[in-house]
Chain A
Amino acid sequence: MTPDTSAYMIGGYVFFFIAMGIYLISLALRWRNLKEELKILRSEEKKEQL
């Protein structure tokens, strides 16, 4: 008889999608923070030039 191992299968796929989601969020957050920092640094540079 085939054993019922569906809980492990569900656990595996839930883990996969959560891990991928966390990584994608980390990429998006880093991108946003760097863009903001670059914007601030460039506006300060312009102010100094004026």
Chain B
Amino acid sequence: MERKPALLTVLDVVAILVLLIAAYLALIYAPTEAVMGAVQRVFYFHVATAWVGMLGFLAAGFAGVMYLVRHDLKWDTIEVAAVEISLVFFFIAIALGSIWARPVWNTWWTWDPRLTTAAVTELVYLAYFMLRQGIEDPERRARFGAVYTLVGAVSVPITFMAIRLFRTIHPVVIGTPSAAAQGGFAMSSSMKVAFFFALFAFTIIFIDLFWHRIRLGRLANQVEQARLQAQF
């Protein structure tokens, strides 16, 4: 069993610190938006969690490619770690968006192109775990997972571009919004500080959790091997 690297402990501390700073910037430092009020502050963590969710899904696709090229199961462990963390972050992003939408759009949910593509992406990766559980052979499971995440990664740019390509009520904060967008706003300089710091903070938190989850995957592989040895 490998010992916890000192660098990972340092990263844990840094992740907690940047999370606290990001929360301070979002909740106290950034000004209250005049039209939406305090609920606009949810936006900082909503975008940041969606960003790391998409980052992880793309990382899983990359790990899938690496597995198909190298046939090394360590890439399968990395892929599973990336998908699991991204599922959690992306779910949080969808839920935060829904909480923001209630007072701004007067509804928790609407089948808008962005919300629909985000929900489809989440379900695609949820199905990944359900389908993996049905395959016992590790090599076959890894091959299936690699192809699945590679195909699934297509949903990420579609979700990202949905608010730029389709007529949607979802606001575009950076770029040109759709004419139908509701709840958009221009960011002041202190809002931009809170926004970009949240993106940075969640990238650090993602790397930290990713490392922990990869270690957990390696430990699970060791247990699986020990179980097999115990059987023979």
Contact = CB atoms under 8 A, between A and B. Distances in A.
Interface residues of B, number: 40
The bracket for how many chain A residues form the interface is: 20 to 34
A12 B34 contact: no
B21 interface: no
B223 A38 contact: yes
A45 B220 CA distance: 17
A44 B226 CA distance: 10
A16 B103 contact: no
B216 A30 contact: yes
Nearest to B85: A23
A12 B88 contact: no
Interface of A is mostly: helix
Contacts of B229: 41, 45
A13 B216 contact: no
A34 B88 CA distance: 21
Interface in B88-126: 88, 91-92, 95-96, 99-100, 102-104
A9 B226 contact: no
Interface string A3-41: 111101101110110011001000100110011011001
17 contacts: A2-B32, A3-B36, A5-B39, A8-B42, A8-B102, A9-B40, A13-B27, A16-B49, A16-B92, A19-B91, A19-B95, A30-B216, A35-B219, A38-B1, A38-B219, A41-B226, A45-B226
Interface of B: 1, 23, 27, 32-42, 45-46, 49, 88, 91-92, 95-96, 99-100, 102-104, 209, 212-213, 215-216, 219-220, 222-223, 226-227, 229-230
